[in-house]
Structure 1
């Protein structure tokens, strides 16, 4: 990756939009903010179709490949000639509401669908993406009908190829049209961002949710009982974030079955994602070497076990994609994980918030960085720098950090940004919350908690003076 810097801001956290940040004007304005800062990268979270039942987590989505309908912009639909009537005036909100956003927008998308607006382009989209769209559309139609995950559907509905009644077939077609609208808007935004000299870093969760088209369609590739109930679910053992570990609850892969099919199911998804983003962060990279599986029904992740992953064999199947991948190698990392990442040439991640434990050999301390890294002040799973400094650090860790930095004035966030930019890591990424100096009220996710995450939203576009400050630091440190 080119030496440079980026800002982490998810689409749903953009200001404006209808009850959620979306792919409309605010996204383009933020791209212009990045351009004024002379940033190289814009990092986002997964764009996946989320569900309110799972707190709208983009890491527990109904499809790894489907975009979130709540992020569709009605203003952009109007610009593209896909609205039958003028879009409404949307109320300003302090927190993203995915369900209400989609409820409002759905009526307008349904009208475009019924009128067959953009139909020729839609049919081309279907032809190129039918390998995942057919099962996704079918899944959404059935799920909307039964309102429960697929393992609770009637037997006829659980079968993949049973013809749908006409009403359900039309609903499945509608959901495919929704995806056409979403990815058309995304393609336009990406082209604009790239025209400004900025690359987009996307994010691929390692596991799909049990309640997803991915698992329903590819169930033999997961460790499931005959009735679809998981035998094991995913998570991580106790770590920095949680003394009882993290119980993600998604089914884990049956890597032997994937290997028999030469990993085609998995590599098609990776290849599709890399057609949408310039670079792709692989969530939980260590899970490709070995992963923590917890017997289904356990209340926490403590009583799990390590099981072997596919390792290098999987990545040899997609060798041409390696220069565009980033490994999220945080948490409990063993030497075999480090060795695989380095053999593949994939950059890893470092986080300044993890550096202050009194250990000079801590890999998160800047003097231990290498060039092939993406370094952060904090990730989407961390508190903001200001919130962390005020609420989570100890007096000892604060003294160590200040001694390392050489002192700091009032803006602790900018002291950490300066330190990050000064490192040898090829890429430095700063969450927009740290650029703006926001506190813990702006935290977007708290691992180990099940409610209230993913809702944070900017109230207004970031002021231009922050772009100027970023640009000055970038020039000073060759970014």
Structure 2
């Protein structure tokens, strides 16, 4: 990330796949081609974990497993595991452009189960055995967890019968026998995910496109990881959460944000020499070229909320592992290409942690135009060692922001951008392209904009509104929007500013 470069933020789900959601199929390869034609060097995506309630990629059933929604179904037809007729119910989901997760869950897993049945009848299970043996350190527990979860109709492991919840050895031994087929099914899904993602990533890399992945700081309370390693988290003797994650009240939310993830017991993790975290980071760098660490400030100190609290107001700051964790990661894995998501309430200690880590932080242009104060997010202030964005998956689109921002801030934005762009002889007119050009011309070594901002879309295409349920993570774009005209425009601005 030392050279000037640029990229596009677009999650896999947002690709225009044929079967109700973006996937690793033809649509993904075509997007790589679009990135290449547009002279982009990076494709940034969101976490690719198995999603549950709320469909958030930041609440996954596993820190290591991949989302079966992304499996390319056309390839399963070519493998004679499915027929075109099997996929008809999923094609019908495309009649509505946004993702319909409730219907997708039913229809896609039904189809994947049929593919597994056909695979068992016609293929050697040695393929799965070899894959399992290579990944046994996480896959064995994950497949068992998912099989038991299915046995208890999707209930959280915190609600399972005591002998399952507390991992009684004899109970789990019997479960492995009783649920063998279901366990093999989940191994099969992970095998397909792993193979198809590696093929896609290789194609991107061969076309000089690097992948930026995202590692959530916290783990879902209901996950294979918390079930297997409860001592790493703040659970009580009854295996109920004692403290959960969130962020304190601020100008955007009087009650703060109550995320609900059970918090890490960093003392116990440190006593184990951070082994689990090192494994997690190592596995991420097998998937991605660069990794963005979410909520970086939480490693300095985090907002701890009593599990029974109704809002985040009742939390308090507690110390994180700080540089001890990052020293351990570096000692084990060497220097890594990491981006620190250093947004939110930052103290001098957080700034010091970022500096000591050596990771570049993030700059968000939408945050720059608060007319009440001078901002570090103004483009003329960006240091080279930073990654600058128009906005992230959690922000409004640029067009949406501009429509709703107050008059004072809009006036500040207009005056600043007009002066800034005048200095570089820009004739850009629309607000989304003004934002993009301001970034692309800045000092930051890496600049990225969400696909929505290249397309000039409003907030109906917003990816996520934090602390809200429903309507999030559902946006997809039409494949017709990836046209030569747009590619040429992105390419031109990228070449102009030597990215």
Q: TM-score, normalised by structure 1?
A: 0.95
Could you report, residue by residue, the CA deviation over 1:319-349 in whole angstroms, capped at 9, with x for unpaired residues? 1354311100001011111212222211110
Alignment-derived partner of residue 139 in structure 1: 145
Q: Deviation at 1:419? A: 0.3
1:379 and 1:120 map into 2 onto residues whose CA distance is 42
Alignment-derived partner of residue 127 in structure 1: 133
Q: Deviation at 1:16? A: 2.2
Q: Deviation at 1:31? A: 0.7
Which blocks of at least 5 consecutive residues in structure 1 are unaligned?
none
1:66 is paired with a residue of what secondary structure? coil
Alignment-derived partner of residue 211 in structure 1: 222
Alignment-derived partner of residue 424 in structure 2: none
Could you report, residue by residue, the CA deviation over 1:215-257 in whole angstroms, capped at 9, with x for unpaired residues? 1111100011112211110001123542321110000000000
Alignment-derived partner of residue 327 in structure 2: 316
Q: Is the 8 A contact 2:76 2:82 kept in 1?
A: no
Alignment-derived partner of residue 418 in structure 2: 406
| 1:294 aligns to 2:305 (yes or no) | yes
Q: Is the 8 A contact 1:322 1:344 kept in 2?
A: no
Aligned length: 475
Query: Of 156, 159, 163, which aligns to 2:173?
Result: 163
- Considering only aligned residues, what root-mean-square deviation do their CA atoms show, in Å? 1.7
Alignment-derived partner of residue 105 in structure 1: 108
Which one has a larger percent helix, Structure 1 or Structure 2?
2
| 1:94 aligns to 2:101 (yes or no) | no
Could you report, residue by residue, the CA deviation over 1:373-428 in whole angstroms, capped at 9, with x for unpaired residues? 1110000000100011002x111111111111117865110011000101101111
User: Which piece of structure 1 moves more, 417-426 or 401-410?
Assistant: 401-410
User: Which piece of structure 1 moves more, 210-219 or 65-74?
Assistant: 65-74
Which blocks of at least 5 consecutive residues in structure 2 are unaligned?
420-426
| 1:222 aligns to 2:227 (yes or no) | no
2:34 and 2:261 map into 1 onto residues whose CA distance is 37
1:296 and 1:284 map into 2 onto residues whose CA distance is 20
2:185 is paired with a residue of what secondary structure? helix
Alignment-derived partner of residue 156 in structure 2: 149
Alignment-derived partner of residue 21 in structure 1: 22
1:240 and 1:445 map into 2 onto residues whose CA distance is 19
Q: Is the 8 A contact 1:241 1:448 kept in 2?
A: no
Q: Deviation at 1:98? A: 3.3
Query: Of 429, 432, 454, which aligns to 2:451?
Result: 432
Shift in CA distance, 82/238, structure 1 to aligned 2, threshold 3 Å: farther
Q: Is the 8 A contact 1:280 1:326 kept in 2?
A: yes
Q: TM-score, normalised by structure 2?
A: 0.92
1:29 and 1:247 map into 2 onto residues whose CA distance is 38
User: Which piece of structure 1 moves more, 273-282 or 350-359?
Assistant: 350-359
Could you report, residue by residue, the CA deviation over 1:98-134 in whole angstroms, capped at 9, with x for unpaired residues? 3433432334433443333474433222111111111
| 1:85 aligns to 2:86 (yes or no) | no
Q: How does 1:244-393 map to 2 (within 5 A)?
A: 244-319=255-330, 320=333, 322-358=335-371, 361-391=374-404, 393=405
